[in-house]
Amino acid sequence: MINLFDLQGKVAVITGGTGVLGSELARGLAKAGAKVAVLGRDPQRRDAVVAQITEAGGEAMGIVCDVLDLEQLQAAKNEVLKRFGTVDILINGAGGNRQPATTSPDLSFFDLPVDELDYVVRLNFMGTLLPSQVFGRVFAQKQEGVILNISSMAAYRPMTKVVGYAAAKAAVSNLTQWLAVHFCQNYSPHIRVNAIAPGFFLTDQNRYLLTDAKTGELTPRGRAIMDHTPMGRFGEPFDLVGTVIWLVSDASKFVTGTVVPVDGGFMAYSGV
C-alpha cells in the first residue's frame, strides 16, 4: 500500500517554495522521493530550502521566479526541463495577503488602496492561473500530470478584514474545478487538478492579524479562531504534507476537481 504514496522519480515544481508553508511542502515532497524545483522571489531563502533538501539526501534546484511574470515562468519551465527532463507535479503555493489590503480601525473598506487590493487578487488568482498555463502545457503534451492549488478557509466563508484575499481564494477554488474538467475533457483523464484549503497557520502574511507583535499573545481574532477550531491550535506546516502527498500521488488517482480542508475541524464547527 505504501507504494501508492511513493513519489520516487517524479519531478515536482512548487511556486512560493520559499514561504513558511511552501518550503515545508518542498521538503516533504523531496522526502517522499520527488525531485523538487523550488520557485520563489527571494534567492537567499530559495538557496536555503534547496540546501536543506540536498543535505537530507534529496534532489532539488532553485529558480528565482515571480508567478505574475509570464516570461519568468516560461524561463523557469525551460530550466526545469533542462535539468530534470520533465515535470509531473505542479504545486501553486504562491499567494497570501498584505496588511495594506486589510481593513482595520485605521483603514476602512472605503479607503483600501486599489493597487494593494489589485496585487493581492492578482497574486492569489493569476499567480495560480499563469503557472497552470505554463506547466500545464507540459502535462497536456505528455497526457498526464497533477496540479495542486492552495485555497483557504476564506474561500468557504468570507473572513472579515481580508476582502481581496477571501474573494481571490474563492476564485482559486472555482478555478480548480474548472481546470479539472477542462484538462480531463480536452487533453487527458490522467491530468488531475485539486486543491487544499488550509485552516489557520501562522505565516508571514497573517501573523500580524493573529498575534500581538509586542507581546506575542493572541489578538481577539486569534482567540476567536481558537474558540472555533475543535483541535484547539493553529496548524503546523508539516500538517499539510500528508494530505498533499496523497493528492499528488497515485493514492488519489480517481480524485480530481476537489478542495480538501486541512483545518483542525474549523469548517465543521458551527460555534454551538
Q: Which residues are catalytic?
A: 165
| CA-derived radius of gyration, the chain | 18
d(CA 161, CA 154): 11
d(CA 37, CA 31): 14
**Beta strand 35-40 with 11-15: parallel, antiparallel or unpaired?**
parallel
d(CA 72, CA 127): 12
d(CA 128, CA 176): 9
Residues in CB range of 181: below 8 A, 6 or more apart: 257
In order of 62, 145, 154, the CA distances from 12 in angstroms are: 12, 10, 27
In order of 26, 74, 170, 237, 260, the CA distances from 195 in angstroms are: 16, 23, 11, 16, 6
d(CA 255, CA 136): 18
d(CA 157, CA 166): 8
